[in-house]
Amino acid sequence: MDHLASHLHRLGLRRLGRAALPALAAAASLGACLTNVPDPSQAGIYACVDSDDCPGGQSCLQKTCEAIELPVVKIVNPEDEKPLTFKGDGVPHTEVLTVNATNLTLRELSASNEAVPGEGHLVVFLDEEEVGKIETGDLTGGVQMELSIPDVPGVHRIRVQARLNDGTDYDHEGGAARNLLWVADGEPHVAIRDPWPGTVFTLESQGIDARVAVIGDIQIGPPMTGLQHVHIYYDKTFPMCKEDLLCATDYSGVVPDDKDEFGPVFLPEAGAGPVTLTGVIANANHTLFTIGEGEEERIVFSEPIEILRSNNL
């Protein structure tokens, strides 16, 4: 209270006396509370990087504060890391995609192409190729469409992106849902699940978090356990890199587990443009893990994912 009295004195309010201080303190407290109430009239006038930059509980969308709750998208089916048995006949697997979302009202593109926060549609990607749009239905109960998964061993990625009807994405964390599928042929496979292909990073040197997934007769864990783990390589080509000792030992980070554990990966300072990240299974002593024998011997590495280095963030 003495601190408040001193502040009021500096403001020239000392004539109110100490008896008025409790009422003023209550009013100040009420004013602070009121600033946490979203004010729709103030939406769209504040710039932001994330929602912590926005006043009154507003949300950050496309670098602008909006007085809405942002959509949260979820893939209900197929479940994450579901294995599909490799058939070898080239016939795709058919899966029913079920998606639900909160805080998003679907609007057909033919009815509106305006960017109305809280409205829009969903775009479905398979292996980062657009395969469909969802423009109608009740997302609270779940909306479905069929997916055709190539009968190609290894990982396949599903991404469902909420999008405003002017073509811009809901760019917050909950604006997209991402699941992996496996086509399992009995061989070990590894995939990078974070970062997701297309993620943008600044040009400065930095550490990022990476996660991986594996399938097959293999178990990974921290090197001190004696199990295999995963090396992450920055912009290197496999399997050719295996034959070059300097290349093979120049990995950018280690992911020690596939149980939602992150591993630190170093991104060097770079120019603008796309680069790749590749995951390779390594032994506990950091030599590259191999399967097969003789001429059939091979390392186990992921399909490289492409990320983007950019100064436009």
pLDDT at 98: 98
The whole-angstrom separation of Cα 202 and Cα 68 is 28
Same fold flag, 70-185 and 187-313:
yes
| Whether residue 22 has pLDDT greater than 80 | no
Average pLDDT value over all residues in the chain: 87
pLDDT tens for each residue of 285-299: 999 999 998 888 999
For the structural domain made of 187-313, what CATH number should be given?
2.60.40.10
Over range 15-22, report the average pLDDT: 39
**Higher-confidence residue: 129 or 21?**
129
pLDDT at 42: 57
Whether residue 40 has a cis bond before it, omega within 30° of 0: no
Over range 264-269, report the average pLDDT: 97
| Whether residue 8 has pLDDT greater than 60 | no
Q: What is the pTM of this model?
A: 0.82
Residue 93 bridge partners (DSSP): 149
User: So where are the chain's domains?
Assistant: 1-34, 38-68, 70-185, 187-313
Over range 6-18, report the average pLDDT: 37
Least confident of 14-18, 45-49, 278-282: 14-18
- The band of 46, judged by pLDDT with boundaries at 50, 70 and 90, is confident
Q: 45-64: string of b/e by CB count within 10 Å (b at 16+)?
A: ebebeebeebbbebbbbeeb
pLDDT at 39: 52
**Higher-confidence residue: 41 or 12?**
41
Over range 7-21, report the average pLDDT: 37
* Class for the domain spanning 70-185: mainly beta
- In single-letter form, the type of residue at position 180 comes to L
Over range 274-290, report the average pLDDT: 96
Kindly provide the residue ranges of all beta strands, DSSP E only, lying in 30-185, ordered along the sequence: 59-61, 64-66, 72-77, 82-85, 93-102, 105-106, 119-126, 129-134, 143-149, 154-163, 176-184
Q: What percent of the chain has pLDDT over 70?
A: 86
pLDDT at 79: 97
pLDDT tens for each residue of 170-197: 999 899 999 999 999 999 999 999 999 9
Beta carbons within 8 Å of 43's beta carbon, 6+ residues apart: 58, 65, 66, 67, 68, 117
